[in-house]
Amino acid sequence: MDPSSSRSAEGDSAAHARPAYQPAWTHGREHAVTTALTGEHPDPATDEVGRVRPLRVVRGADEPDLVAAERAAFAFLAALGVELDTESLSATPARMARAYAELFTPRPFDLTTFPNDAGYDELIIARSIPVHSVCEHHLLPFIGVAHVGYLPGDRILGLSKLARVVELFARRPQVQERLTQQIADWLRENVAPRGVGVVVEAEHLCMTVRGVRATNTSTVTSALHGQLRNDASSRAEFFSIVAPSRATS
């Protein structure tokens, strides 16, 4: 056999081989979201009369392939010995695919801010924002709350947007430490406050329903920027306001 034809056959085989696994989710903050302005104006920050326009915030990710996900879910469950030919379980792979697609897809939103006309310079805190995320190590949920606060600068943020930002970073395979830091970093970079504080407390099913099975265990993480990190009295005030929620949750 001609060696060159052998090498050619090997090359053709390699060309049609399954590509190397590439993770679909990136940990880099610069790839976490795509922020796009609504409308088309010469000045990308303001409209014709000088008003600041809201930013449209969307995830920078491909649309989920639910058909492929359903097939993979069927193969996964069948490999674990789950009988899928019953009336109750026949549609489970499709439900599983849709459920994970929902868990991994945050809703887009407009980042609405307003002039701080009154010169308000005290803390603004939204407590007990629901957190629903998925542990990236076991793909089991972790569920809890986030307490998000900031010291405003020239502009104040629409209150619902604090919950939107939490969802933006929670709806993906995550670890709680990174989630907490990403929320704080994003607010610092996009709102320009004098300080930011974030506390996340959550129950991780990967350690309560499997493995060590440590029921009733919660994990608490925090991230601080600006005055809330550098000024001891501001930091103490922030933690004293969010502490009662932690004690009763």
The one catalytic residue in 174, 176, 181, 182 is 176
Cβ-Cβ contacts under 8 Å for 177 (sequence gap 6 or more): 221
Cα–Cα distance for residue pair 34/167, rounded to 1 Å: 15
- Concerning whether 204 is annotated as a catalytic residue, the answer is yes
- Concerning whether 63 is annotated as a catalytic residue, the answer is no
**Alpha-carbon 210 to chain mean position:** 24
- Concerning whether 16 is annotated as a catalytic residue, the answer is no
Count other Cβ atoms within 10 Å, centred on residue 161: 22
Encoding tokens for residue 219? 């994990």
The one catalytic residue in 135, 147, 174, 201 is 135
Name which of 190, 189, 184, 186 is nearest 228 in CA terms.
184
Encoding tokens for residue 61? 């990710």
Count other Cβ atoms within 10 Å, centred on residue 115: 10
The one catalytic residue in 27, 31, 41, 137 is 137
What amino acid occupies position 81?
G
Asked if 83 contacts 112 with a C-beta cutoff of 8 angstroms, the reply is: no
The one catalytic residue in 136, 147, 177, 227 is 136
The one catalytic residue in 70, 167, 204, 225 is 204
- Concerning whether 225 is annotated as a catalytic residue, the answer is no
- Concerning whether 137 is annotated as a catalytic residue, the answer is yes
- Concerning whether 136 is annotated as a catalytic residue, the answer is yes
Cα–Cα distance for residue pair 124/149, rounded to 1 Å: 5
Q: Which residues belong to the active site?
A: 135-138, 176, 204, 206
